[in-house]
Every structure is written in structure tokens, then in C-alpha cells.
Amino acid sequence: MAFASTGFLIFLLVGVIVYYLIPKKFQWIWLLILSYYFYMCSGVKTLGLIITTTITTFLGGIWLEDITLKRDEWLKEHKADMSSEEKKAYKAKTKKYKRLILALILVINFGILAVIKYYGFTVDNINALLSGVFHMNVGLKRFDFLLPLGISFYTFQSMGYIIDMYQGKYKADRNLFKFALFVSYFPQILQGPIGRYNRLAHQFFEKHEFDLVRIQHGLQLMAWGFFKKMVLADRAALIVEEVFRYVHLYHGFTVLFGVLAYTLQLYADFSGGMDIVMGASEMFGVKLDQNFKQPFFSNSISDFWHRWHITLGTWMKDYIFYPFSLSKAMNKFGKFTKKVFGNTVGRCLPICLANLLIFFIVGVWHGAQWKYIAYGFYNGFLIAASNLFEPLYPKIFKALHINNEGRAWKLVRILRTFVLVVISFYFDVCESLYAALYMMRSTVTGFTFKTFTDGSLLKLGVDYYGMCIIFVGCVIWFIVSLLKEKGIDIREALDRKPWIVRWAVYGALIVAIPVFGKVSNTIGGFMYAQF
């Protein structure tokens, strides 16, 4: 069931009406029914996978908590009978047992994800390696699995919960059906955001009274999301489809124009989808974590990833970056590099290595292709290099008489970051790593100013009228983003305006979607739904 469809809007309308009519104590049950119905609309064949993740994570959380409770109780009872060394040894034994349980749950669930998403890619590369290097024609058989709805999102969310339980951050959920709602909550299962149990679960079970303002705010956010998706993303998709249909067809600025169109498509599609998700959830009284924060106002690649797909970034930081960079192995590596390269470089190298690992995983998370691995390493390398050379920046600013606190330099940093991000999207939009590298090269070698005047840009699937719609839509979006960057809440600001102004804005937004938005057969599908 696509978000941008009549079926979803009817589903949501019925869901909200029933939600506020039934007794408050049954609201979470209704949400669970809605969530599983939504999931099964994509196919019942994969239902067993989300149930497997739910049950294994649920039981694992209880298991980990019970071990901790029994350990604390036993230590309390034998406090006077044990030496400090015996207590330490007992705690270490318990921790080892918990670690084995954690590893088991992680292997089961990440194993399911890995087999479904990466088995074919792995087999293809093993066959190519054996054939090309060792001249062995083994011919391992490839199986193409049906990709379950939102498997990456609900797996990461569930594994975040089990890691938190291992660390003892909160009590385990002991109601299987309530935990099932946390895993399967329908607004976020399609494309995130990746929620945290301590911030999300309790909202499902609180009693939510009908609030007209909350419903209005949810609808406003959804309408804004539909505008970005259907007016901007789907229209830009026409350009992208034309430019990148054949690798050798276009060159120079035309390719760059296509990448810029893809940048708009991806951002409008993903952030528009997030607005729809968050608006729909808000109508049920459940507030989801923010996933975008004006990423194209970023002044560095690191800052960009703090603003783009925020919940994925924080998940990687909390569950991979910190454990890896603070591990004993990295501690030893850091001491070694300090001896060899000095304190400054030696302190940065472990962080650089951790960033490369993080973005390798981010690349693999995006898809089972070499182009995504290159995409991850590109971002990881830029961040690692920035960290490594950071001590040199003050000296460079001083030598070149640059005021690094001034507005001009801030604008330069924003533009520089935008250029670096657009370059990274070559890997994302092209069909393969070879195509991405080829089109990067053709952008430079085939560049000519003739493209600006010969009208060829208006033959890429969007005419002059369509280009005007994209331009005006981007200007509106920029103004809204700039206001948000300055800390202005648009919806609250509208609430303070006279009713005639409010409804003029609402009416213009609602009318713009069907009038300017229905332009391609891409309507209904969101790009990140494939994850």
C-alpha cells in the first residue's frame, strides 16, 4: 500500500476515526491491527520474517534482563561470603553469558537481512573471482529473494532495542503484542525513521484524546510531504530517467543537470516521505524522531550526515562507532599510532578508521552493489580526511587571512559541501560503479556552454512549463527551509495568522498537488521503500 495513493488515505482516515472512537485502553491494539494489515498488503509471504524478528528480540530482551536480575539478587544474598575477586569473576562470567545471547539474536536477525539482501551479490562476486583469478568455473547458484517491506528499518530498530537491553538501559517489554507494535508500527516501517524504544514505545500505550489542532498539524505536514513528493520529486524523476537511461547518450552539463535533478528527486522524495510518515503518526498522538534538518545548509560532510537520515546516523554512531572506537583493539591501535605519528595524528587515526567502517556499512546498507560501497567509502574518506587535517585549518586560515567565522566563508563551506554531496550522488543514481565513473568523466570532458542556449535541457522529459514549476517549488521549499533553519516553527506561525491567511495557504498547497503533481508513472512509490 503506497503512501501516495487513494487506498492509503482511506486506510488512514478509517484508522484515525476508529482510533478516537474506541475506548482508550484499546487504542494500542487497534494500532497493532492497522500495522499488520498494512504490512500484509505488501504480501503475506514475508510475514514470518517480521514475526521471527519480533519473537527472537522479545525473548532475547527478557532473557538478558532475567540474567541481570538473578545476578544482582545472587550477589546481594552472598555479599558477605564472597571476596571482591570472586564477585568480579562472577560478573565477568555473567557478562560473557549475556554477550553470547546478544550475539545469537544479532546473528539470527542480521543473518536474515544479509541473506535476503546480499546473497545474490556475494554469489556473483565469488563466481567472478573464482573464474577470473583462479579459472575455476564453480557456478554457485544464485537465488533472488523477495525483499520484505521495510526489513532494514525494522531490523535496525529491533537490534537497537536488544543492544540497549544488553547494556541495561531500561526494562524489557514483557508483553509480546505491545512489543510487536514497536517493531511493526505502520507509519515508519516503510522508510523509517529508525525509532528508539525508550522514546517511542511508551507513546503507543498512553491514552490519546482527540485533539483537532494535532490532527490539523498532522494533515499539514502530510500535505507538505505530498507536495515535495508529487510536485518536485516525481517531476525531477522524469529528467533523471531520461539522462541516465543510457550511459553514453549524454555528456557534459547535461549529465551534471541530471545529477542535480536526482539530488532534488532524492531529497524531495525521502524528506517528503518522512513528512507524510510523521504527519500520519502525529494524528495518532505518536511523535517520531526527526530524520532531516535542512541538510543542504550543512557546512561539512560530517555536518551533512548529522542532518540527513538522522536516525540512521545516530544508530550507527551509538551501536557501531562508539563500541568500535572505544574497544580494546582500537585503544591499542591508538597508542601505537601515537608512538609512530605523534599525539595529534595518532589520536585521529582510530577515529578515521571508525568513520571508514561506519560509512562502509552505510554504503552496504543502501544496496548490494559496488557503487554503494564506493558511495560509502567516498563519504567516509572525506570525513576521515577532514578529521586528519583539522589541526592544519587554523594555520591555513591565518596564512590566507580568511575569517572563518564570517558569513562569506560560511557560504563557501555550504557551497563546497553541496558540490561534494552532488558528486557522491553519481554513485547512487548510476546503474553501476563503472557507469558512475564514466559519467563523472564525461561531465568534465564533454562540458560546453552551448548546452545553456541550445534548448537541449528542455528535451529531457520536462518542458519549459515543467521547469518553471520545479523552480517555483524549489524557491518555496528554500524559503520554508531557511525559516526552519532560523528556528521558526512554520505550523505554529501559521496558527497565529488570521484564518483567511491560513486557509489560503492550505488551499494553495492542496490545489497545487493534483494540478502540478500528477506528471509521471512514478507516483505512489518512494525510493527508500526498497530498503
Per-domain boundaries in the chain: 6-207, 214-288+430-531, 317-415
Residue 522 has pLDDT above 60, yes or no: no
- Give pLDDT, residue 480: 93
Instruction: State the residue for C-alpha cell 503484542.
Output: 177
- DSSP state for residue 449 in the 8-state scheme: G
Helical axes 499-517 vs 212-226, angle rounded to 10°:
30
What pLDDT, in 10s, does the model give residues 140-194?
777 777 778 889 999 999 999 999 999 999 999 999 999 999 999 999 988 889 9
The Cα 5–Cα 389 span in angstroms is 49
- Give Cα separations from 363 to 283, 313, 435 (angstroms): 34, 12, 17
Q: Residue 135: what residue type?
A: H
The Cα 133–Cα 313 span in angstroms is 37
pTM, entire model: 0.91
Element housing 434 (H / E): helix 433-445
Report the chain's mean pLDDT, rounded to a whole number.
Answer: 89
State mean pLDDT over 128-142.
73
The Cα 377–Cα 366 span in angstroms is 12
Smallest Cα–Cα separation from 423: which of 387, 381, 452? 381
Residue 290 has pLDDT above 70, yes or no: yes
Asked if residue 193 has a cis previous peptide bond (ω within 30° of 0), the answer is yes
- The CA R_g of the chain, rounded to the nearest whole Å, is 26
- DSSP state for residue 185 in the 8-state scheme: -
Residue 523 has pLDDT above 60, yes or no: no
Residue 26 has pLDDT above 90, yes or no: yes
- Give Cα separations from 89 to 71, 75, 85, 86, 92 (angstroms): 12, 12, 6, 5, 5
pLDDT bracket for residue 356 (50, 70, 90):
very high
Residues in the chain: 531
φ/ψ of residue 292, rounded to 5: -140, 145
The Cα 407–Cα 300 span in angstroms is 15
Residue 381 has pLDDT above 70, yes or no: yes
In terms of C-beta density within 10 A (0-12 exposed, 13-18 middle, 19 or more buried), how is residue 413 classed? middle
**Which residues 6+ apart lie within 8 Å of 506 measured at CB?**
220, 223
- Give Cα separations from 515 to 303, 406, 528 (angstroms): 36, 43, 25
For residue 528, how far is the Cα from the chain centroid?
8
More confident call, 425 vs 46 = 425
**Which residues 6+ apart lie within 8 Å of 451 measured at CB?**
252, 253, 254, 257, 457
Percentage of the chain lying above the pLDDT 70 cut: 97
